[in-house]
Amino acid sequence: MARVSMEGVGEFNHHYPRVATIVSVHARGRDNAMVVAWHCSLSMRPPLYGVSISPKRFTLELILEAEEFGVNFMPFEKVELIASVGGSSGKEMDKFQRFGIAKEKPLKTSVPLLRDAYACYECKLVEHKTYGDHVWVVGEVLASHFEEDFFTPEQTLDLKRVAPALYLGAELYTIPAKDILRYLDRKVYGKQ
């Protein structure tokens, strides 16, 4: 195999796949949503979750105003919805109405939760900071929601029951290989 070395990052798709999420918000009397692939947990105590959003996005404006947001983890069966939400602007339309997005009531915030998500977080905004051409938005998770049947007793995703939508970059989506799963106990492997 030939290794390529170059200055810069090219298309910047080397760090994919990533679970595609739909970030939701309620502000100005309306709901809005956008797709986010750059996101991660930051802390257990307190439970913090971060998402990276371009400052050009209307959803960021609404999150900063509402001071809360939702993170909705979507199954592969909903990739058309993910692409539709990601390819449209909430400034120009009501995405929930246009794409028939079913909602569920939140517990602690006013953010819309997507019924089709296998898991959702309700987050209170705690900080936002610009890094390069994106804003890192950090929220404290006030409530979590998940489809119990899609998770193991240890609350890990059961890939035999649900396939998360994985974004590969360049408008490509895939699923994890359901038959390839290895348990590697770090207490055992750390002693080798």
Instruction: Report the C-alpha gap between 137 and 63 in whole angstroms.
Output: 9
- The letter for the amino acid at 46 is P
- The letter for the amino acid at 163 is A
User: CATH code for 18-189?
Assistant: 2.30.110.10
> In a structure prediction context, what are the per-residue pLDDT tens digits for the chain, which is 192 residues long?
888 777 877 777 777 789 999 999 999 999 999 999 999 999 999 999 999 999 999 999 999 999 999 999 999 999 999 999 999 999 989 999 999 999 999 999 999 999 999 999 999 999 999 999 999 999 999 999 999 999 999 989 999 999 999 998 889 899 987 777 777 888 888 776
**2 is written with which tokens?**
């030939």
Instruction: Report the C-alpha gap between 103 and 109 in whole angstroms.
Output: 14
pTM of the complete model: 0.91
The phi and psi torsions of 98 (rounded to 5 degrees) equal -60, -40
Instruction: Report the C-alpha gap between 62 and 31 in whole angstroms.
Output: 9
